[in-house]
């Protein structure tokens, strides 16, 4: 299975699974820990991957949300995400994909411009979050947001679907980018 599809499998009972894709293993691990600390009625699972495609001979639950983590300090991490995006089916981008850019706080270490990730997220019609994952407070807040988002994407919040959420978030986007 070299391309991830959202409806390839039946959902598990009360299960919500998020896939974090990024090269910064330590940061992903910390974010995963922060998410699992949250109180949540659903059974959470966090999958961490360096890149896509995922190994094919593995039993894994249905993935409800993919978050691509780009470290603004590393061109390598952006390149890795760009290549991984090819392995995700288009239907995933209806609210089940997000981008997270970390490292914006240390401007002098950034080798990727903000606009590059903004443009990337816009191309894929998906929300973009800026969060310095190295800072514990920011990371905890981001973890909370991701857990709520995951619950919606897994269909555990009655009346709100992933696509609803996407449209809600889109309306507050920067109007500049509509032309890009």
Partner 1 sequence: MDETVAEFIKRTILKIPMTKMMTVLKAWDFLSENQLQTVNFRKRKESLAQDLVLLCKENGVSLNDAALLDIICEDIDLSDMEQFKSSFKKILQRALKNVTVTFRDAEENAIWIRIAWGTQYRKPNQYKPAYVMYYSQTPYAFISSSQLRSNTPLLCQALTIASKHHQIVKMDLRSRYLDSLKAIVFKQYNQNFETHNSATPLQERRLGLDINMDSRIIHENRIEKDRVQRVTQEIFGDYSQPRLEFAQYKLETKFKSDLNGGILAEREEPLRCLVKFSSPHLLEALKSLAPAGIADAPLSPLLTCIPSKGMNYFKIKDK
Binding region for partner 1 (CB under 8 A): 19, 22-26, 29-30, 32-33, 36, 44-51, 54-55, 58, 60, 74, 76-77
Cβ distance to partner 1 smaller for residue 51 or 161: 51
- Distance CA(36)–CA(45), nearest Å, equals 8
To partner 1, the closest distance from the beta carbon of 176 in angstroms equals 30
Cβ distance to partner 1 smaller for residue 154 or 165: 154
Q: What is the DSSP string of 9-42?
A: SPPPTTEEEEEEE-S-HHHHHHHHHHHHHS--SS
Q: What is the DSSP letter of 53?
A: S
To partner 1, the closest distance from the beta carbon of 83 in angstroms equals 13
**In sequence order, what are the beta bridge partners of 128?**
99
Cβ distance to partner 1 smaller for residue 45 or 122: 45
Cβ distance to partner 1 smaller for residue 87 or 173: 87
To partner 1, the closest distance from the beta carbon of 49 in angstroms equals 4
Sign of CA dihedral 45, 46, 51, 55: negative
To partner 1, the closest distance from the beta carbon of 46 in angstroms equals 5
Sign of CA dihedral 58, 17, 99, 106: negative
User: How far apart, in Å, are the Cα atoms of 28 and each of 9, 88, 124, 167, 170?
Assistant: 25, 20, 22, 27, 26
Whether the CB-CB separation of 84 and 116 falls below 8 Å is answered with no
To partner 1, the closest distance from the beta carbon of 48 in angstroms equals 5
Cβ distance to partner 1 smaller for residue 43 or 161: 43
């Amino acid at each position: 299975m070299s391309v991830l599809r959202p409806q390839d499998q039946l959902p598990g009972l009360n299960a919500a699974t998020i896939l974090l894709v990024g090269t910064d293993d330590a940061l992903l691990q910390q974010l995963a820990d922060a998410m699992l600390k949250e109180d949540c009625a659903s059974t959470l699972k966090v999958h961490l991957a360096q890149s896509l495609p995922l190994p094919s001979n593995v039993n894994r639950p249905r993935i409800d949300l993919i978050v691509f983590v780009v470290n603004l300090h590393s061109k390598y991490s952006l390149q890795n995400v760009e290549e991984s995006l090819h392995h995700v089916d288009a239907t995933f981008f209806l609210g089940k994909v997000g981008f997270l850019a970390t490292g914006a706080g240390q401007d002098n270490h950034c080798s990727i411009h903000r606009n590059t990730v903004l443009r990337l997220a816009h191309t894929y019609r998906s929300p973009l979050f800026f969060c310095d994952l190295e800072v514990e407070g920011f990371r905890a807040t981001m973890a909370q947001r991701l857990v709520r988002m995951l619950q919606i994407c897994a269909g555990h919040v009655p009346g709100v679907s992933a696509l609803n959420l996407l449209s809600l978030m889109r309306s507050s986007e920067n109007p500049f980018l509509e032309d890009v």
